[in-house]
Amino acid sequence: MTRLPSFVRFVSLALALLAGVVAAQSTTALRVASTASVTTWDPSLSFSTEAVYLANIYEPLLWANPAGAEEPFRPALATSWEAAADGLSWTFHLREGVKFHDGATLNADAVVRSIERHMAIGGAAFIWAPVAAVVAVDDMTVRIDLEYPAPVDLIAASLYGAWIVSPAALDAAAADEAYFEAGIGAGTGPYRLVEYTPDAEVVLGAFDDYWGGWDEPGHFQNVVVRIVSDQVLQEQMLLAGEVDMALSLPPTSYAAFAADPNYDVHTVVTPFNYVGFLNTTRPPLDDIRVRQAISYAVPYDDIIAVGAEGLGTQSRGPVPQGIYPWSEEVPRYTQDLAKARQLLAEAGHEGGGFTLRLTYAAENIIERAFAPVMADALADIGIKVEIEPLLFNQQWALAKADPKEAQDIFLLLYWPTYSDAGSDNLWSMFHSSETPFFNLSYWKNPLFDDLVDEAIELTGTDRATAQALYVDAMTILVDEAPALFFMDAGGWYAVPTYLEGFAYNINYPFATFFYPIRLAD
């Protein structure tokens, strides 16, 4: 009989004797898979998917509650707040006894300095545009003075540009602008940033002095987030028990998880929507009738079915449902090929007979799925669509270059920076500007601009009137059709039944709050 080398025998014995590594269900660590990479750890500069982590490390003055909640906001680092009668100042009363991760105590100075930094360099600095000054009234009271009325409660609850940061960290960052990038967290949130491996892993550890406390049993002491870009791989990891949660699962797996008794499937309304900008600088899309014809040709239900596996609703303009100032009064198109053909004929393009170049982000599987559906529908009215997948970076560069040379149709996934899609979605995507930001239709309409500008100013003091103005603006927008408004994307999460406390908040896209998630009894 052949004798195995002794090393091989040793290893075999060792492997046979060893038990499994980590108990799947203990409060030691919540293991998560996420696609969210980190563009920056700087709480002021943050403007991308790192919000998943920052929302657990930092806190704002207040949180916005999901639509339908009893109160629109709940206290965070501020326990109460009020606006002056004229809407030109807001006062926030801070929570006592809050510690930063570095041991410093929360006070008005920390709030003032944080907001001033966000205003100066923030990726989302524009949300603070109405602010004239931030003042420490006393050690635990902050007043925000405005140049014009604005909804500071919405602004201060933003996912971007509203985190309150330790003063010591702000000092360090002032001396070294790359201070945070090594993986430094300096907030008051329930979790500290323990370790960061770029594009691989983020490890969060419980902050023992968190003001919210850890008395409730079942809280996780640590959160280990694996950055995994592939949804199918995330699914495999979840099914194999390698992770407890996967934050991005393939849409095609929804039915399987919904039928699996080991998982609770949470179907949610998200603030993400899909828009198709039409290049209004070039014929034939410079003709409103052609744009309306295309709007009538789009098969909205099919796009939702194919692109989002039915999880979504047709948009009413660019403001997503559940986010101010969405309104069901805003009109929307339904597919009507006869009407589309009629409009084309009126525009001098009977039977279509032209080609449009459509670009979408190659990384986006939903756009990849529904772009051909749209192309087929336009083919029915004689418009040929050449679909061109590009990396988002490249698609963006193309659109930002000369509009005359850019694409005809730009598919975009959008979401508001904070829970005011009037000053964000409507302004960013369609307000006139010399250098377009997100206005990739390159559309200009002074009446729309005026309505939006006026509504922005009224949102802080007379939200009802502002809402009405927004509806008027969106009605013009839909009628002139500088863009196609496909769908408000739904989402879903499959949470193992041994976990409880998961809740999605539409106001915080990308963010998953780990603190409330606990092992079920």
Partner 1 sequence: MGLVKFITRRLALSLLVLFGVATIVFVLTRIIPSDPASLYLGPRARPAEIADIQRRFGFDRPVIEQYAQYMRALARGDLGTSLATKRPVVQELGSRLAATLELLVAAMLLAVVVGIPLGVLSTRLRGGVGEALVRVTSVVGVSMPAFWLGLLLQLVFVHLLGWFPAAGRVDGGLRFVAPITSFTGLNLLDTLLTGNLVAFRDAFMHLVLPAFTLAAYPIGLVTRMTRAAMLEVLSQDYIRTARAYGVAERRVLSRFALRNAIGPTLTVIGLTMAFMLTGTFYVEVIYAWPGLGSFTVRSFLNVDYPAILGMTLFGAAGYVVINLIVDAGQAFFDPRVRVA
Binding site for partner 1 (CB under 8 A): 14-15, 18-19, 21-22, 28-29, 31, 37-40, 45, 47-48, 123-126, 178, 181, 197-201, 203, 221-222, 224, 226-230, 233, 236-237, 239-240, 242-243, 363, 391-394, 396-398, 400-401, 417, 435, 437
> In this structure, are residues 246 and 496 in contact, taking their beta carbons and an 8 Å threshold?
no
CB of 260 to partner 1, least distance (A): 14
As measured in angstroms, the least distance from the Cβ of 268 to partner 1 is 22
Choice between 222 and 445, CB closer to partner 1: 222
Instruction: Tell the smallest beta-carbon distance from residue 275 to partner 1 (Å).
Output: 14
**Rounded-to-integer distance, Cα 101 and Cα 168, Å:** 11
**Min dist. Cβ of residue 236 to partner 1 (A):** 4
Q: Please, what is the minimum distance in Å from the beta carbon of residue 379 to partner 1?
A: 28
Closest by CA to 159, choosing from 443, 509, 519, 490, is 509
Q: Determine how many CB atoms are found less than 10 A away from the CB of residue 226.
A: 18
- Quick one: 140 or 390, whose CB is closer to partner 1? 390
DSSP secondary structure letters along 143-176: EEEESS---HHHHHT-SSS-----HHHHHHHHH-
Q: Taking the complex as a whole, how short is the minimal distance between the CB of residue 140 and partner 1, in angstroms?
A: 33
Question: How far apart are the C-alpha atoms of 320 and 325, rounded to whole Å?
Answer: 9
Nearer to partner 1, 229 or 465 (CB): 229
Beta carbon nearer to partner 1, 417 or 467:
417
- Name the CA radius of gyration of the chain, rounded: 25
C-beta separation of 469 from 248 below 8 A: no
Measured in whole angstroms, the distance separating CA 372 from the mean position of its chain's CA atoms is 26
Residue 325 beta carbon to partner 1: minimum distance, rounded to whole angstroms: 20
Minimum Å gap between C-beta 364 and partner 1 is: 12
Minimal distance in Å, beta carbon 222 to partner 1?
A: 6
Q: Could you write out the DSSP letters of every residue in 340-362?
A: HHHHHHHTT-TT--EEEEEEEET
Cβ-proximal residues to 510 (8 Å cutoff; 6+ apart), any chain: 36, 49, 51, 52, 55, 159
Q: Which is nearer to partner 1, 115 or 203 (CB)?
A: 203
CB 51 within 8 A of CB 510: yes
- List 274's β-bridge partners, or say none: 413, 487
Rounded to an integer, what distance in angstroms lies between the CA atom of residue 282 and that of residue 235? 44
Of the pair 12, 465, the CB lying nearest partner 1 is at: 12
- Residue 198 Cβ, how far from partner 1 at the closest point, in Å? 4
Neighbour order of strands in the sheet with 191-197: 191-197, 201-206, 222-227, 30-34, 245-246
Cβ 29 to partner 1 shortest distance, Å: 4
* Six-digit token string for 406: 């850019």
In the complex with partner 1, the residue whose CB is nearer, 94 or 517, is 517
Compare residues 266 and 400 and give the one whose CB is closer to partner 1. Answer: 400
Cα 407-413-418 angle, rounded to 5 deg: 130
Q: Which two tokens stand for residue 411?
A: 């598919």
If we measure between CA atoms, which residue out of 363, 366, 361, 390 comes closest to residue 250? 366
Cα separation, 221 vs 191, whole angstroms? 9
Distance (Å, whole) CA 370 – CA 68: 31
Q: Whose Cβ is closer to partner 1: residue 20's or residue 446's?
A: 20
Q: Are 201 and 224 in contact (CB under 8 A)?
A: yes
| Residue with smaller CB distance to partner 1, 9 or 74 | 9
Indicate the residue among 139 and 230 with the shorter CB distance to partner 1. Answer: 230
CA distance 88 to 503: 34
Distance between CA atoms of residues 65 and 157, nearest Å: 10
- Give me 347's structure tokens: 């525009």
CB of 56 to partner 1, least distance (A): 16
Question: Measured from the CB atom, is 80 or 197 closer to partner 1?
Answer: 197
